[in-house]
Chains A and B, each alone.
Chain A
Amino acid sequence: MLRLAWRNLLRTPGRSLVTGGVVALVVFLSLLFLSVYAGAFDAFFQLLLERTGHLVVRVEGYKGKEDLESLAFVPPELPLPPGAKVEGVLEGGALLIAHERSRAVVLTGLEALGLARQESFLRAGRLPEAAGEALLGEALAKALKVGLGDEVVAYAPGSLGLGVYAFRVVGLLDLPETHLEARTLLVPLADAQALLAPGRVTRLEVRLPGLGLYQLKPLEELKAALGPHLQGLEAETWLEANPTYAAIFPLYDTVMGIYVGFFFLLGGLILLNALYLSLVERVREFGLLVALGLTGRRLIALVFWESLLLVGVAALVGLGAGLILQLELADGFRLPLPQWILEQYREFGLPEVLYGRLGVKEVLLTLGYAMGVGLLAALWPGYVASRLRLDRYAALG
């Protein structure tokens, strides 16, 4: 039966090539789409992970608290696994004043490790090395008309600390998002504490070396282990700490499934058309086969084999082409869009260079769709073939 099905496909090479080509194209485009989309998501999530660390420790019920006094806490000692690093961060609002100008800023106090992570964004100057030195977003510096070496004053009335603190600008940062860059002031943690809340932090960031982006299980385990040591505090994974992104995460598979499904529905309709055409062309031949003793069930099997062979071979071709392209995409690529659009996408945290990712799940989803479409498209032609009556074949013959 398999050999017969194969021979039937080869008898109409033009049509088989066109239909198979459509299926291969659909498989190829689906893989391309999934790889690019996963790459974009990875970029978003990587940025979040870098900014928050793997685990974030904050005051219990922090979402419902508004004032710095309720949000700031004295950092406890945490029993962390070897290699893990914990950094204290103190974040608060302030008005940054330079001469006649002022801008509202988010003032963030970072430890030495946190400041060192900003090195890749540094466009001028250096990292703070002593008290009273600050990093400003380039857009903020431009708005305040200040440059390296200039003095700015942070004014934070109503805080627990001094409320006013003078900083010297030692470095300018080029952050991906201009709206963040326009309000970013990074200072040493001790300075931020002196200004806002002595001895306290608003969050602790725990970073675990060698842990992949979506490896959430070890994080859950560590979170559970830290639980007894967090009096009045709570730990969240980086995804839990960003609830809106966390809400999008489960939608990702569904949205991708629907998008790829759109492609395959079209491919399936074209396949159905080809199978049906192939069937009506061979009515006499089917009559002969029935006369020779082929049952209706075996006729259905013949149509199914033709469909599966066509889809299988085409899917493999599409898969091969998709995987070859994936090798290129995994090394980094730019979306084929005008530069001004790519620059604007940076404002949403999407870097210009993305890295394609195709997991086993994506490949299985695509192949599953392909085989499913192959089977579904063969249902009706197979049914029609099995219902053709012998006397009709005879009349045609």
Chain B
Amino acid sequence: MSLLRLAWRNVLRQRRRTALLSLVVVYVTVAVLFMFGFLDGYGESLVEAYAQYVEAPVVVAREAWWEDPDPENGFPSLPPLAHPLVQAATPRLSLYALFRSPYRMQGGVVLGVDPEGEKALSRVPSKVGEGRWLQGPGEVVLGYRLAERLDVRVGERLVVETGKEALGLQVVGLVRAGVGNVDFGGVYVHLEDARRLAGGGVGATHLALRVPRGREEGVAKALNQVLPEGFRAKGVWELMGPIRADYEGSRLFYVPLLGLFMLLAAVAVVSTTYVSVRERLREFAVAESLGLSPARLAGQVALEAALASGLGLLAGLLLGYALLGYTSTHDVFGPLMRLSVELLPEAGLSEHLYTSIRPVYALYASLLVGLSALLALLFPGRLVLRLDPSRYVKGE
């Protein structure tokens, strides 16, 4: 305890120097917190977009459908599902089609859904901005950007053709989900209509499951143990498109970069400690003559580095978490995300991005304190260990 008090007093003796090196630590701590918060927030926004809008938390389909997503690889009846974490399940039938308004034609994917079942699983039904959600056959709900492209409005008719069948459906609602895939390409029809468009004989192409957040991969894995042969469940991370690579690539890029930032900050702390130790070699010699062992003195040097960087860490944590608090509740990155959605409408990006706040970021940032102390032991600490007290006490 006395060593700690001594180290603390020494840190306070050079207030300006301590403040300066703390500033470096504050900067790096804020950078570490913000970058992890941003990356996790980005990942969470992708998971939410795919789990709640584009796909589902878990999807079960035939292996053949995963390989070749055509209705002929769907299933006539639903496979048995037994897992306590499955909170809801609804069948879906996806098929490729041509959409024709009186003015424009465009191709895309139609999703046949059970209107009530979908409400329990997806947020799309609650995001109908104009009109209403599906109630029965003969109706279609579109993403609002797709409706603009097709030049159709609520109440007008849209022809959906698959080459086998064609249906004239009434547009009853336009979805404003804020997720590229839904707004630019979402076409939702009643399951019965989808079955007719597919030419009959297929009940659904896949089954969408709702499971608790964060348990998607575990449930998919568990289901794969019990599903009949030829079926396979996929969790949301597996369902994501190429955008997942952007997230993984960013993580691989930023984590070593932040490691480098922390190392440089630790070098700044140690450099200051080194100067401080050199100035006080005579003081250390006296302390050693009075009975303090070289190892304890080196420990004191490491403690001084840890305390000085710890001060910066505390201030950095306060600032960093305040910044994360703000960006996790305010849509600061909204304009950037909207531009990204325009650029990559099929990537499954959300128009909003909020940073994440996790206590573990403090642990990552505190590695800097440990690193500073370790380097202080290795460099300025060695000065103390090599000290010849008699020489310094004599004033040579």
Chain A: residues with CB nearer than 8 A to chain B? 15, 18-19, 22, 25, 66-68, 92-95, 97, 100-106, 142-143, 155-158, 179, 183, 244-245, 247-248, 262, 265-267, 269-270, 272-274, 276-277, 280-281, 335, 337-338, 340-341, 343-345, 347-348
A273 is contacted by which of B70, B96, B151, B272 (Cβ under 8 Å)?
A: B272
A102 is contacted by which of B162, B268, B342 (Cβ under 8 Å)?
A: B162
| 17 A-B pairs in the complex with CB atoms less than 8 angstroms apart | A94-B98, A94-B105, A95-B163, A100-B164, A102-B164, A156-B105, A179-B346, A245-B343, A262-B31, A266-B27, A266-B264, A267-B264, A269-B23, A269-B24, A270-B264, A272-B20, A280-B17
Contact A22 B248 (CB under 8 A): no
Is the CB of B245 closer than 8 A to any CB of chain A?
Answer: yes
Is the CB of B252 closer than 8 A to any CB of chain A?
Answer: yes
Contact A104 B264 (CB under 8 A): no
Contact B164 A143 (CB under 8 A): no
By a CB distance below 8 angstroms, the chain B residues around A344 are 242, 244-246
Contact A67 B104 (CB under 8 A): yes
Kindly provide the distance from the CB of B110 to the nearest chain A CB, expressed in whole angstroms. Answer: 10
With A67-B104, A100-B72, A104-B106 given, is the CB distance from A273 to B21 under 8 Å?
Answer: yes
By a CB distance below 8 angstroms, the chain B residues around A273 are 20-21, 24, 268, 271-272
By a CB distance below 8 angstroms, the chain B residues around A156 are 105
A95 is contacted by which of B27, B161, B246, B343 (Cβ under 8 Å)?
A: B161
Kindly provide the distance from the CB of A52 to the nearest chain B CB, expressed in whole angstroms. Answer: 15
Is the CB of B1 closer than 8 A to any CB of chain A?
Answer: no
Contact B267 A270 (CB under 8 A): yes
Q: Mark B92-127, 1 if CB is under 8 A from A, else 0.
A: 000011111001111110000000000000000000
By a CB distance below 8 angstroms, the chain B residues around A270 are 24, 264-265, 267-268, 271
* CA gap between A337 and B274 in the complex, in Å: 38
With A155-B163, A244-B339, A341-B252 given, is the CB distance from A104 to B107 under 8 Å?
Answer: yes
Kindly provide the distance from the CB of B168 to the nearest chain A CB, expressed in whole angstroms. Answer: 13
Contact A101 B252 (CB under 8 A): no
* CA gap between A338 and B346 in the complex, in Å: 23
Contact A93 B271 (CB under 8 A): no
CB-CB nearest 5 A-B residue pairs: A104-B107, A102-B163, A344-B245, A347-B242, A344-B242
Contact A266 B68 (CB under 8 A): no
Chain B: residues with CB nearer than 8 A to chain A? 16-17, 20-21, 23-24, 27-28, 31, 68, 70, 72, 96-100, 103-108, 149-151, 161-164, 199, 241-242, 244-246, 248-249, 252, 261, 264-265, 267-268, 271-272, 274-275, 279, 339, 342-344, 346-347
By a CB distance below 8 angstroms, the chain A residues around B344 are 348
Kindly provide the distance from the CB of A70 to the nearest chain B CB, expressed in whole angstroms. Answer: 9
Contact B100 A158 (CB under 8 A): yes
* CA gap between A315 and B268 in the complex, in Å: 19
Contact B161 A281 (CB under 8 A): no
With A95-B107, A100-B164, A341-B252 given, is the CB distance from A265 to B27 under 8 Å?
Answer: yes
* CA gap between A247 and B104 in the complex, in Å: 27
Contact B346 A337 (CB under 8 A): no
Contact B275 A340 (CB under 8 A): no
Assuming A67-B104, A101-B70, A337-B252, what are 9 further A-B pairs, CB within 8 angstroms?
A: A93-B105, A93-B107, A94-B98, A102-B96, A143-B68, A266-B28, A270-B267, A281-B279, A341-B245
Contact B104 A66 (CB under 8 A): yes
Contact B103 A93 (CB under 8 A): no
Residue in A closest to B248 when the chains form the complex, CB atoms: A341
Contact B106 A345 (CB under 8 A): no
* CA gap between A281 and B242 in the complex, in Å: 56
* CA gap between A262 and B257 in the complex, in Å: 11
By a CB distance below 8 angstroms, the chain B residues around A269 are 23-24, 27, 268
Contact B98 A95 (CB under 8 A): yes
Contact A266 B265 (CB under 8 A): yes
Contact A345 B242 (CB under 8 A): yes
By a CB distance below 8 angstroms, the chain A residues around B272 are 273, 277
Residue in B closest to A178 when the chains form the complex, CB atoms: B242
Kindly provide the distance from the CB of B76 to the nearest chain A CB, expressed in whole angstroms. Answer: 17
Contact B271 A274 (CB under 8 A): yes
Residue in A closest to B107 when the chains form the complex, CB atoms: A104
Kindly provide the distance from the CB of B384 to the nearest chain A CB, expressed in whole angstroms. Answer: 17
* CA gap between A276 and B271 in the complex, in Å: 11
Contact A266 B20 (CB under 8 A): no
Contact A244 B271 (CB under 8 A): no
Contact B275 A93 (CB under 8 A): no
Kindly provide the distance from the CB of B391 to the nearest chain A CB, expressed in whole angstroms. Answer: 21
Interface centre among B105, B151, B252 (most CB of A within 10 A): B105
Contact B275 A281 (CB under 8 A): yes
Residue in A closest to B69 when the chains form the complex, CB atoms: A143
Kindly provide the distance from the CB of B70 to the nearest chain A CB, expressed in whole angstroms. Answer: 6
* CA gap between A276 and B344 in the complex, in Å: 49
Contact A104 B104 (CB under 8 A): no
* CA gap between A179 and B20 in the complex, in Å: 53
* CA gap between A362 and B219 in the complex, in Å: 49
By a CB distance below 8 angstroms, the chain A residues around B20 are 272-273, 276
Contact A158 B105 (CB under 8 A): yes
Residue in A closest to B25 when the chains form the complex, CB atoms: A269
* CA gap between A155 and B245 in the complex, in Å: 36
By a CB distance below 8 angstroms, the chain B residues around A105 are 107
With A18-B271, A266-B27, A337-B252 given, is the CB distance from A93 to B106 under 8 Å?
Answer: yes
With A269-B27, A273-B20 given, is the CB distance from A345 to B279 under 8 Å?
Answer: no
* CA gap between A267 and B264 in the complex, in Å: 8
By a CB distance below 8 angstroms, the chain A residues around B346 are 179
